[in-house]
Structure 1
Amino acid sequence: MRVKNLVIAAAAAALPLLAACDQPATLATPGAAPQQKFAVTSSIDPATGEAVANNYRPQGLVITRGGEGPSMLQEITPCTVEEPCDPPCDTSDPYGGCYVPPCSALISSFSSYRAGSQPYGSLEVSGTTSSNCGYRVLTGIGARINGSDDYTTLALRGRRVYADGTFGETADYRFGSSPNHTLEAWGEVPDGYAIVGVGVGQSGTEDVRTLKISYRKIELTVAGVRMTGPTYSMWVGANPYGALDLSYTSANDNEVFVGAGFRSVDAGEQTVTMAAYLGLLP
């Protein structure tokens, strides 16, 4: 009986560990899924009173596309010698010109959804992770609002995913009238995951104080590359526990974020319009 009791006790002690196997393991480190659901990742600059994201670092190819509004949605363009595909042309090619591999984009189209108290209002910033060979899945997002309650900066991080479920290169995208300004909030998901939901809260300020990112694992299944498993959420920013002004999350296994757009208003200091761009997995 004593041996039996010891075996039962050991098994019971192991259950919490087994139950946690599919849980994320850290919040701030790309490459591991997060342990915490909430983390203060931004601080208030005493000189300006503006929130500043401390956890953003550029990564991979940086693509700056200044401007604002829906016109910043990028169309897919074919590969040419003048504008070659990723990676760039091999200039050592003795035959002159470039070898242009066939495009093998996993995501070639997206659907647009709207959220907020004024869902169909005009957008102040808007962008996607488009390239000359399809769309990258969204793995990071951040933004900034200026003192006039206008979104001026949108940062997106995208990663190439192929039809066999493997991941390729990472690229950073910057949009808005001040595309290279510091961000007020930024969040990035662990390796192997992609964003399926975004929420924003200003906490009655002229900053993005609260950013919620929902994400799922993306991998090859019998139905093709799909979003799988549970939906995890991380809350970041200067006030990660703050209320959201708006949010949108997809529960569809064949949808993943490839971009977003936002608009803020002075009345109530809040974000009232959001466009969610969901890429369609074939």
Structure 2
Amino acid sequence: MRLKTLVLAVSAATLSVLGACGDQPTAPATAADKGAEQRSAPTSIIDPGTGEAVATNYKPARTVLIMPGMSALEPGAQPLAVCTQFEPCEPCGFDQPCEPVCDPNDPYGECYNPPPPPCSNHISNYTEYRAGIQPYSFLEVSGTASSSCGFLVVTGLGARINGSDDYTTLALRGRRVNRDGSWGETVDYRFGSSPYHSLEAFGEVPSGYAVTGVAIGQSGTEDVRTIVLYYRQVQLTAAGVRMVGPTYTARFGASPYNYTDASFATYNDNEVFVGAGFRSIDDGERTATLAAFVGILP
């Protein structure tokens, strides 16, 4: 499948405009809470022993997948033979016995005998957008919330940078949206050379919403100090499952209201984040490269 790559560098001035997007829900909006503004207190603390930020608001989901590409130095570091949208599990053929198919990257963790019919009406492709002062550079961490039956929408994101100014840990929280607009199980994906490491910052959007934009900042440190998530409500419409209503923002990290280094957001009703990637540089202690993997709703 051919993926399009677009480059978009978003400045801090642009971000200030993006941030002014109305009231912030803490749960699916109702008539009673539409006017309630969400104010974000710090969600990370600085460890006095190491000087590193540590996210205090992250709790693993029931299903956690450690993805390939991990460091050989990590305990039990064996790349997982996962099934993804682009490399699905091999189905049983007409000339061989139909044994149960166990997809370790299926959000429900089930085995099927016989295998289910080909999935449909799920996110099957995405477009990659780039931002930052070095948008074309390589990524130190990247990943998507992918399964053998399409992509899951991103509902949470966290990361960590080591003392050498390298991103070593990326956490994505994904959730499947069914064709009728209902939600499936929540799955955590871990990427990077140190996937087991604690996160310096982590953010998650309210239930019923999905991420449509990400901004990230280091505040001139070797830590992820600020994460901003842009998000919209997911609903079944006459055109299918779509992002509806205004774009909201929520801020996370040890310095949730500090400036950010790179950002990207989409405002199209048929687009939602299915993954992300980052790279940090020593010059200015900043995140110089951001990749946004934006899925296309069918």
TM over 0.5: yes
**Counterpart Cα distance in 1 of 2:159 and 2:208:** 23
**Counterpart Cα distance in 1 of 2:245 and 2:218:** 30
**Counterpart Cα distance in 2 of 1:190 and 1:208:** 22
- Decide whether aligned partners of structure 1 residues 219 and 54 sit closer, same or farther in structure 2, where only a CA change above 3 A counts: same
Aligned residues of 2:52 and 2:223 also touching (Cα < 8 A): yes
Q: Gaps (5+ residues) in structure 2? A: 1-22, 71-81, 92-99
Aligned residues of 2:172 and 2:275 also touching (Cα < 8 A): yes
- RMSD between aligned residues: 2.3
Q: Which residue of 1 aligns with 2:45?
A: 43
> Where does 1:133-144 land on structure 2 (aligned, <5 Å)?
133-144=149-160
Q: Which residue of 1 aligns with 2:168?
A: 152
**Counterpart Cα distance in 1 of 2:148 and 2:261:** 34
Quick check: 1:98 aligned with 2:108?
Answer: no
> Where does 1:92-241 land on structure 2 (aligned, <5 Å)?
98-102=113-117, 103-104=119-120, 106-241=122-257
**Counterpart Cα distance in 2 of 1:128 and 1:112:** 11
Paired amino acid for 1:121: S
1:56 to 34, 55, 58: 58
**Counterpart Cα distance in 2 of 1:208 and 1:23:** 23
Q: Which residue of 1 aligns with 2:26?
A: 25
**Counterpart Cα distance in 1 of 2:128 and 2:39:** 27
- Decide whether aligned partners of structure 1 residues 185 and 73 sit closer, same or farther in structure 2, where only a CA change above 3 A counts: farther
Aligned-pair CA distance for 1:164: 1.1
Aligned-pair CA distance for 1:132: 1.3
Quick check: 1:77 aligned with 2:79?
Answer: no
- Decide whether aligned partners of structure 1 residues 141 and 158 sit closer, same or farther in structure 2, where only a CA change above 3 A counts: same
Aligned-pair CA distance for 1:60: 2.4
Q: Which residue of 1 aligns with 2:5?
A: none
Moved more, 77-86 or 262-271: 77-86
**Counterpart Cα distance in 2 of 1:39 and 1:191:** 19
Moved more, 106-115 or 59-68: 59-68
Q: What TM-score do the two structures reach when normalised by structure 2?
A: 0.78
Aligned-pair CA distance for 1:78: 4.0
> Whose Rg is larger?
1
**Counterpart Cα distance in 2 of 1:119 and 1:244:** 15
Paired amino acid for 2:187: A
**Counterpart Cα distance in 2 of 1:272 and 1:66:** 24
Q: Which residue of 2 aligns with 1:5?
A: none
Aligned-pair CA distance for 1:79: 5.9
Paired amino acid for 2:140: E
- Decide whether aligned partners of structure 1 residues 26 and 229 sit closer, same or farther in structure 2, where only a CA change above 3 A counts: closer
Quick check: 1:244 aligned with 2:260?
Answer: yes
- Decide whether aligned partners of structure 1 residues 159 and 111 sit closer, same or farther in structure 2, where only a CA change above 3 A counts: same
Q: Gaps (5+ residues) in structure 1? A: 1-21, 91-96
**Counterpart Cα distance in 2 of 1:211 and 1:236:** 5
Aligned-pair CA distance for 1:193: 0.1
* Structure showing the higher helix proportion among its residues: 1
Q: What TM-score do the two structures reach when normalised by structure 1?
A: 0.82
Q: Deviations over 1:54-75 (max 9, x none)?
A: 000001211101427xxx9953
Paired amino acid for 2:236: L
Aligned residues of 2:83 and 2:147 also touching (Cα < 8 A): no
Aligned-pair CA distance for 1:169: 1.0
Paired amino acid for 1:24: P
Q: Deviations over 1:47-102 (max 9, x none)?
A: 0000000000001211101427xxx9953414643543554455xxxxxx723222
